[in-house]
Amino acid sequence: MTDELELLKKDWQNKEFNVPKLSYEDIHKMIWKKSSSIVKWILIISILEFSVPHLLYLFPSMREGMEVYEKIGVSQYLFGLSVFIYTVALYFIFQFYKRFKEISVLDNSKNLMRKIIKTRKTVKHYVIFSLSMIMVTIIIMIIGVYLNDNIALAFPEFKEGLANVSQEKLKITIMLAIGIFGVVLTLFMGGVYFLLYGLLLRKLKKNYTELRQLEI
């Protein structure tokens, strides 16, 4: 085998590959093309993850939705929660930026892969945090509904229809609806996220595992 590999080496080194040689102009054009590397994709997806949920508040319908919180009587708790969420989000953005900056194609392969995975982990933790905060919001709302003595007032548009429904029944229905909505939303967002990253990083993870196993 060694002989065969040596033979291959000899052939390989003398090889002029049968591919068209690129001209100066060809290469010059290439250097201004956009990269499609996974690092670029991680950056794009992460910026979306950090910004999209906050951009949603710019829509008027979303702001009207916020009024529900007031009617249920939980807005002051949710305000406190938002302050906490933004503080933590800023911390995550800072961490992400720091780690992202460390990624260099000039590193050795193992370090490069490790740093990419570390950067992605920051985003992963952020997403887990965000999803738990959605759940906390949902729980606060459910508690708000539970403690509210006249929940029908929160939905004036349904006043007539709700007049002959008992308060207890109404509360349970609303609490269930909020709960189910929250769980579905969280699972959906989490599912999309992990699927996206799973596909994006499958190859990298496989190669990283292989390099790491060498060290054992």
Partner 1 sequence: MNKELEHKFVTELQDNQNIVHKVCTLYTNDRDSHNDLFQEITIQLWKAYPKFRGDAKFSTWMYRVALNTAITLYRKNKKRIDTADYESVIFKIKADEYDETEELQLKLMYKAVKQLGDVDKALVFLYLEDKNYTEISDTLGISEVNARVKMNRIKNKLRTILNP
Task: Give yes or no for residue 45 binding partner 1 (CB under 8 A).
Answer: no
Angle between helices 38-55 and 167-213 (to 10 degrees): 160
Considering the complex, state which of residue 119 and residue 137 has its C-beta at the smaller distance from partner 1. 119
Complex with partner 1: residue 1 or 58, whichever CB lies closer = 1
- Span 81-100, contacts to partner 1 by CB under 8 A: none
x/- contact string, 147-186, with partner 1 (CB under 8 A)? ----------------------------------------
Q: List the end-to-end C-alpha distance of the chain, in Å, as a whole number.
A: 27
CB contact at 8 A, 88 and 129: yes
Helices and strands, number each (H, E), in the chain: 8, 0
Residue 17 vs 166, nearer CB to partner 1 = 17
**Judged by CB under 8 A, does residue 121 bind partner 1?**
no
Among 60, 105, 150, 166, binds partner 1 (CB under 8 A): 105
Q: Does 41 bind partner 1 (CB under 8 A)?
A: yes
Other beta carbons within 10 angstroms of residue 136's beta carbon come to: 16
DSSP code for 214: T
Please give the angle made by the CA atoms of 31, 35 and 37, to the nearest 5 degrees.
140
- Tell me the window of 25-33, 68-76, 127-135, 167-175 that interacts with partner 1 (CB under 8 A): 25-33
Size of the site for partner 1 (CB under 8 A): 51
Are the CB atoms for 141 and 74 separated by under 8 Å? yes
Number of residues in the chain: 216
Q: Do the Cβ atoms of 112 and 103 come closer than 8 Å?
A: yes
Chain residues binding partner 1 by CB under 8 A are 1-2, 4-5, 7-9, 11-13, 15-19, 21-24, 27-28, 30-31, 33-39, 41, 104-113, 116, 200, 203-204, 206-207, 210-211, 214-215
